Chains A and B, each alone.
Chain A
Amino acid sequence: MRVIEPWVAAPLQGFLDESGARLTLLMTSAGQVIAQDGFTRSVDVMAAAALGAAIMASTDAIADVMSTAAFGVVLHQGPKQSLVLRAFWTPRGRWIGLVVFGSETSVGLVQLFFQELELALAKAAPAELPTRAVLAENFEYELNASLRSLFGR
């Protein structure tokens, strides 16, 4: 498991211990990675984050067209592996969880323990940090720092 923000580690570890998930990714609704488990290549995690955020944005747009509340969960069920995408609110804004799992667990268990993760994250979140301006000249440095945190290199 790799996390950008240390306070995420304990709640996420609890989820990983219980859920039987193969891959887990927490990201902001803009696709910025917060934590990951199971991914081995940075290119995979960045692609999964971008695609997961895009899928949730698409479902938000569909909900808007249908004049209904946003869909909180998207499930892609496959013969060997399935994927759950869940949008949820934290004290740090709206985040998205992407969980890949196989037949060793179930969508019911993954959803149950993800709900517990959401509550644990809400409890563990520290007081709001002062917001920093994101400058174009810092972007590459911060991206590389995040990748080092996520992949330890």
Chain B
Amino acid sequence: MRNLGDALERVTRVSGIRGAMLVAESDGLVVAEALAEGLDGAAVAALAASLTLRLRRTAISAGLAVPQVVQLRAERGTVLSVPVGDDLLLVAVAERDANLGLARLELRQAAAQLGS
């Protein structure tokens, strides 16, 4: 559990990150979370897991292999998702002006830390 907390904190330390969650991809349920107040973690987890699963199937069907990062950019921010092992996702919600390059780097390193 401490390992989970460390990995989430690593992501949420990045400027402009409103929250990070470890999500069970097939269930769309939150395993662990560190979220700003007002962010509906259960809803983000369910929808991000569904979206990532479908995008993975799309990429594989197109012969592109498994996506390493899924990035959904919206008017007021960005959702980032990276795989952890076989059935987990590390998901981050970023504000519009967040440092997305650093966020992606920290997400991938946190995912590697959790997967090891």
Interface check A106, CB cutoff 8 A = yes
- Is A111 in contact with chain B by the CB < 8 A criterion? yes
Measured between alpha carbons, how far is A111 from B46 in the docked complex, in Å?
Answer: 9
Q: Does A47 contact B (CB under 8 A)?
A: no
Please measure, in the bound complex, the distance between the C-alpha atom of A112 and the C-alpha atom of B24, giving whole angstroms: 15
Chain B contacts for A103, CB-based, 8 A: 26
Complex Cα–Cα for A148 and B50 (A): 37
Q: Between A and B, how many residue pairs show CB distances below 8 Å?
A: 33
B50 engages A106 (CB within 8 Å): yes
Is B110 positioned at the interface, with any CB of A under 8 Å from its CB? no
B28 at the interface (CB under 8 A from A): yes
Q: Which residues of B contact A63 (CB under 8 A)?
A: none
Q: Complex Cα distance A109/B49, Å?
A: 9
Query: Chain A 72-84 against B: per-residue CB contact (8 Å), 1 yes, 0 no?
Result: 0000000000000
Quick check: is B29 within 8 A (CB to CB) of the other chain?
yes
Q: Which residues of A contact B42 (CB under 8 A)?
A: 108, 111-112
Measured between alpha carbons, how far is A109 from B27 in the docked complex, in Å? 8
Instruction: Establish whether residues A107 and B27, one from each chain, have CB atoms under 8 Å apart when the complex forms.
Output: yes
Give the number of residues in A that approach B within 8 Å (Cβ atoms): 8
* Complex CA distance for A106 and B54, rounded to whole angstroms: 12
Q: Which of B29-75 contact A (CB under 8 A)?
A: 29, 42-43, 45-47, 49-50
From 73 to 120 in chain A, residues with beta carbon under 8 angstroms from any chain B beta carbon are 103, 105-109, 111-112
The complex places the Cα of A108 from the Cα of B29 at a distance, in Å, of 5
Contacts of A105 in B (CB 8 A): 50
Task: Convert B80-104 into 0s and 1s, putting 1 for each residue whose CB lies closer than 8 angstroms to a CB of A.
Answer: 0000000000000000000000000
Expressed in whole angstroms, the minimum distance between the Cβ of B24 and any Cβ of chain A is 8
Residues on A with C-beta less than 8 A from B47 are: 109, 112
Q: How far is the CA of A52 from the CA of B45 in the complex (A)?
A: 27
29 contacts between A and B (CB under 8 A): A103-B26, A105-B50, A106-B26, A106-B27, A106-B28, A106-B29, A106-B49, A106-B50, A107-B27, A107-B28, A107-B29, A108-B23, A108-B24, A108-B27, A108-B28, A108-B29, A108-B45, A108-B46, A108-B49, A109-B28, A109-B46, A109-B47, A109-B50, A111-B42, A112-B28, A112-B42, A112-B43, A112-B46, A112-B47
Instruction: Identify the A interface with B (CB < 8 A).
Output: 103, 105-109, 111-112
Mark B residues whose CB is within 8 Å of A: 23-24, 26-29, 42-43, 45-47, 49-50
